[in-house]
Chain A
Amino acid sequence: MSISTSTAAGAPPSARARVGQVFEAAARGHRSIPVLVVLAIIWAVFYSQSSAYLSFQNITNLTLQIVTTAILALGVVFVLLVGEIDLSSAVLSGVCAAVAAGLVVNHGLPLAVGIAAGVVAGMVVTFIEAQIIMFGVPSLIVTLGGMVILQGLILVVLPPEFTISVAGTPFAKIASTAVPAGASYGLAAAGTLAYAGYRLFQRRERLSTGSLSSLAAVVVPSVLVAVVLFGGVFTLTRQRGLPMPLLILAVMLLVAWYATTQTRYGIHLYAVGGDREAAQRAGIPVRRMVLYSFLVLGACAAIAGMVDSSRQLGVSVTSGAGPLMLNAIAAAVVGGTSLFGGRGSIWSALLGALVIGSISNGVQLLGLSTEVQYFATGSVLIVAVAVDVVLSRGSLLPGRR
C-alpha cells in the first residue's frame, strides 16, 4: 500500500516526474515557503487597506508585539518535536516574571540574579511536569493541571497587592535598551561573516571526503542571510536602534537552529518525535530527550515572561493569561511544526508568530472590531494545517497515505 508511492524509483524520469520531484523537494526541504506566501498575502491585503501598515514604524511595532509569542512558541516547538504538548507555559511565563521582578524590584537584588532565578524557576516547574509525564500521565493532562496550579502559584509569588510595577527599575531596561544603529550593522556583518564562514568550513569538510559540493551552496545561502540581516537592521533601526528583545529572540533562534540541525542532540530530538520505539531500540535515551525538551520550554517561558513584563512595565495576575498560550501553539503549528512530533523546524516559531501578529496588528491598525481578528486568526490556523497536510501527502485528493 505504502509502496505505491515509490513507482518513480525504477521508471525512467520523465519531464513531468522531474517537475514533481522538484516540487516534492521544495515542499519537503522548505516547509516554510507556504507560510511565507501566506504572510505575503496578509501583508498585501492590509497594505492595500492602509499604507501605514508597512511603514518602518509599524513593522518595528509588529516585531516587538510578536517577540513574547515567538519566544514562547520556540519552547513549544521543542516540546511538539518530541511528540508532546504543553498548555502551561504561558502562565508559567507569568510566574517566572513575577519571581524575577519580585527579586529585582522588591528585594533590590541585581538584575542578573533575578533573571537567573526566573529561568531556574521555569526549568524547575517543567522538570517536575516532565517527571510526571514520564511516569505515564499524558502531557495534555499534566500541563492542563499544571496551568491551573500555576494560576494559583502566581497569586502566591506576587506580593499582597498582586502587582509589581517595574517602571524606572533595572528590570525595565531589558525591553527599553536599544542597540545603536552602528553597532547593529556591526552585528549583522558579524552574523553574515560567521554564517558564510561556517558554510565554507562545511564545504571544505565535504570536499575532504571526496563528495561534490558546489560553491553556490555557500554563496546563495550566505547572500540570503546577509539580505535578511541587513534588511532587518535597516528597517528596525529607523527609530532608535535595534530593540533588545529582538536581539534576544535572534540569539535564541540562532542557538536553537544550531542545536536542532547541526548536533547529535538534534537528530535524537527528531528521532524521538518520529518513532519512539525505533529511537529506543537504537539506544537513544527517549525519556531524557523528552525531559530536555521540557527544560528548554521552561527556559523559553521564563525569558518570554521577563521580556513581556519588562515591555508592559509590570507583572500582575493577568501576566501570561489571555490568548498567549493558544497563540504560541498556533504560531508553532501555522509555522509548519506537526502536532504529532518529528516534523517542523525552529523557524516555524518565528514565522507563525509573524503571521498571527500581522493579523492582529493589521486589525488594530485599521480599527476593525476584535471579532474580525479572531475569525481571521482561526481561519489561518486551519488553512495552514490543511496546506501542510496536502503538502505532506503530495495530493489534493483525500485519503492518499
Chain B
Amino acid sequence: MTALLELTKVSKHFGGVRALHEVDMSVHEGEVVALVGDNGAGKSTLVKIVSGVESPDGGEIRVRGEARRLESPRAAAEAGIRTVFQDLSLCDNLDAVQNLFLGQERYGPVWSGRRVRRHVMEEQAQRVLGSLSVKLRALNTPVVALSGGQRQGIAIGRALISDPAVVLLDEPTAALGVSQRREVLDLIHRLREQGRGVVVISHDMKDVRQVADRIVVLRLGAKVAEFQRGEYTPSDLVSAITGAHESTDDEGGDL
C-alpha cells in the first residue's frame, strides 16, 4: 500500500542553523502518527514544510506516491493536506458556518455579487460537524462564545470541508481541560475511522500514547526513533526524546 504522505530525507536550514536533517516520515490511510520531541527538535519546521508555509532545502515529498512541491498553503491544500494550527486560526466574530467555510465559501454568480449560498453551507456544516460528533447549540453564534473543545472541533471541521487525505494537528490538546481533551482525542479517532492519515504534534506523552499508532521522535532536527503502538515503554519514549541513554540507544546513532 502506498503511503498517503511520504517524506524522504527532508532537510531545512535557517542560515547556519540546521532545523531539519534528512528526516524520513510516512503516513498511511487510517493511521495516526504522532510527532514528538523537545522544544527546538524541528517539529514546527516539519509542520510548516508539510503545510506549505516553508519549502524544504532538500529531500522529497510524495503524496499518494506522487512527488509534489508544496510551495504555498494553497498548494498543500490542493494536494490534499490540511493543517489545523495550534491557535486554530478562527475568526472570533464569525459564526460556526462562516468559520468552517472561511476562504472556501459556496457562492452564487457574479451578477448576484457572489451571494453566499448559506443554506448549502449550513447543510454541509451540519454534516461535517455531525461526522465529528461536534454538538453546537446554534450554528449562528459567534465562535468566541464556544468552548475550547467546540472551537477545536470547528477548526478540524474546517480542515475537512475540502475532504483532505492527510490532516495535520499542531498541539491540538494544549491548553484544554480534561473533558475537552477527551473530546479532541475522540475527534482524532474519528478522523482515523474515516480513513484519513493523521499527523499529531504534541508535547503530552499521555495523549500521544493513547492516540498514536506510530510515534516519530525528533531531536535536534533529526529523527532519532520510531515506535509502533505497544512496542515501547514510556521510559523508552522519554529517553528517546531527551537523549538520556544515547550511547546505549542503537537508534540514536545519527548524532
Contact = CB atoms under 8 A, between A and B. Distances in A.
Interface residues of A, number: 37
Given A277-B89, A278-B90, A267 B113 contact: no
B116 to A, nearest CB: 6
A271 interface: yes
Interface stretch (B21-29, B58-66, B142-150): B142-150
Interface string B181-206: 00000000000000000000000000
Contact of B141 (A28, A209, A259, A265): A28
Given A3-B147, A265-B114, A271-B102, A283 B137 contact: no
A209 B122 contact: yes
A3 B102 contact: no
A279 B180 CA distance: 26
A6 B145 contact: yes
Interface stretch (B36-44, B92-100, B226-234, B240-248): B92-100
Contact of A267 (B89, B105, B123): B105
B98 A271 contact: yes
Interface in A278-329: 278-279, 281-284
Contacts of B180: 3
B67 interface: no
Contact of A278 (B89, B113, B115, B177): B89
Given A9-B137, A284-B103, A263 B116 contact: yes
B147 A9 contact: yes
Given A267-B102, A267-B116, A281 B92 contact: no
Interface string A1-30: 011011001000000000000001100100
B120 interface: yes
Nearest to A81: B93
Interface string B115-152: 11111101100000000000001000110011110100
A275 B143 CA distance: 12
Task: Classify chain B: how many residues form its interface, as a range.
Answer: 35 or more
A379 interface: no
B78 to A, nearest CB: 11
B91 A270 contact: yes
Nearest to A13: B137
B130 to A, nearest CB: 13
Given A211-B123, A274-B94, A263 B103 contact: no
B113 A263 contact: yes
A273 B93 contact: yes
Given A3-B147, A262-B113, A284-B102, A279 B91 contact: yes
A173 interface: no
B123 A262 contact: no
A279 B116 CA distance: 17
A94 to B, nearest CB: 31
B13 interface: no
A93 to B, nearest CB: 26
A332 to B, nearest CB: 16
A258 interface: yes
A107 interface: no
A282 B85 CA distance: 11
Given A28-B142, A209-B122, A263-B113, A274 B92 contact: yes
Contacts of A160: none
9 contacts: A6-B147, A205-B117, A262-B116, A263-B112, A271-B94, A281-B73, A282-B89, A283-B73, A284-B103
Interface of A: 2-3, 5-6, 9, 24-25, 28, 202, 205-206, 208-211, 258-259, 262-267, 270-271, 273-275, 277-279, 281-284, 342-343
Given A6-B150, A202-B119, A259-B113, 14 more contacts: A6-B147, A9-B147, A28-B142, A209-B122, A210-B123, A262-B116, A264-B105, A275-B89, A278-B90, A278-B102, A282-B102, A283-B73, A283-B104, A342-B92
Interface of B: 73-74, 85, 89-94, 98, 102-105, 107, 112-120, 122-123, 137, 141-142, 145-148, 150, 177, 180
Closest 7 CB pairs of A and B: A282-B103, A274-B93, A6-B147, A274-B91, A283-B103, A278-B89, A342-B93
